[in-house]
Amino acid sequence: MIILKIGGSVITHKKTTSKTRTADIKRVAKEIKSALKKQPQSLILIHGAGGATHAEAKKYDLKKGAITPRQVFGAMQTHLIVAALQKELADIFLNEGVNVLPVYSGSYFLYDKNDNLISKNLLQLKTLAKNGTIPVLNGDMVPHEKKSFAILSGDKIAITMSKLFKVERVIFATDVDGFIDPKTKKLISKLDLKDLNKALIELRDYKDKDATGDLPGKLNEIAKKPKQTKIQIVNGLKKGRIESALKNKKVIGTEIR
């Protein structure tokens, strides 16, 4: 099984209008179809929420959860934006001949009162993936036992599922080529967890740019990966890179073991 997490910056113009990148979504769908045709395998797809949802999360101050009636309303507004993006992506994929099934992340994950993430019903997702249907989850507002709702990032979903399903590879498709050394400004093609933890220390002064932590948030989640799982970070806006990664071919990016 492979998990592919497509960043919000790949499927939307995240830093400007948050308009959907329809052409890029079509291209990604074709790359997935081509890769799976030549190398059939179970795939779970997760996508980011895009800039519009991050703006809503900041507007209603949802980073620490939805507690007040106004925040609960904001959480629902945020979810509806995510759901609309998920449906748009699914419609494009289905039109390109890729069998996907959009599902609500909150049906499979929730937080307990101590902010611990709890998973449930994941056998359903595993069964779908094994039978050739691609479940599509996303970063979203999910139930919280104490705060009504809380943000669950797509990155956290990907790493959590990699542990539960003992996934061999997780591919993160972003809008950059991979991890860029903050000192040399050069792409680092391979990292181990020790190197990654050092990089996180160097990035401690990096300012969050969105509700889920942006680069440090992503790397913090990746640092929690199981030992057997290989992580690949590739540029999802560059033609062919997602397809090459799915085929386990050599591709420009960062590999973390």
Residue 146 has pLDDT above 90, yes or no: yes
Give 190's pLDDT tier (boundaries 50, 70, 90). Answer: very high
Are 229 and 167 in contact by the 8 Å Cβ rule? The answer is yes
Mean pLDDT of 193-209: 66
Mean pLDDT of 114-123: 94
Give pLDDT, residue 137: 98
Superfamily holding 2-256: Acetylglutamate kinase-like (3.40.1160.10)
- The tens digit of pLDDT for each residue in 12-26 reads 987 665 689 999 999
Residue 231 has pLDDT above 60, yes or no: yes
Give pLDDT, residue 16: 60
Give 181's pLDDT tier (boundaries 50, 70, 90). Answer: confident
Structure tokens at 246: 């799915």
Residue 108 burial (CB < 10 Å; 0-12/13-18/19+)? buried
Task: Find where tokens 């179970």 sit.
Answer: 42
- The tens digit of pLDDT for each residue in 125-144 reads 999 999 999 999 999 999 99
Mean pLDDT of 171-192: 87
Are 152 and 143 in contact by the 8 Å Cβ rule? The answer is no
Residue 237 has pLDDT above 50, yes or no: yes
Give pLDDT, residue 148: 96
Mean pLDDT of 36-55: 87
Give pLDDT, residue 207: 52
CA distance 164 to 19: 34
DSSP string of the chain, one letter each residue? -EEEEE-HHHHB-TTTT--B-HHHHHHHHHHHHHHHHHS---EEEEE---HHHHHHHHHTT-TT-B-SHHHHHHHHHHHHHHHHHHHHHHHHHHHTT--EEE--GGGTEEE-TTS-EEE--HHHHHHHHHTT-EEEEESEEEEETTTEEEEE-HHHHHHHHHHHTT-SEEEEEESSSSEEPTTT--EE-EE-HHHHHHHHHHTTTPPP-STT-HHHHHHHHHTT--TT-EEEEEETTSTTHHHHHHTT---SSEEE-
Domain ranges, ordered by start, for the chain = 2-256
Are 254 and 191 in contact by the 8 Å Cβ rule? The answer is yes
Give pLDDT, residue 214: 61
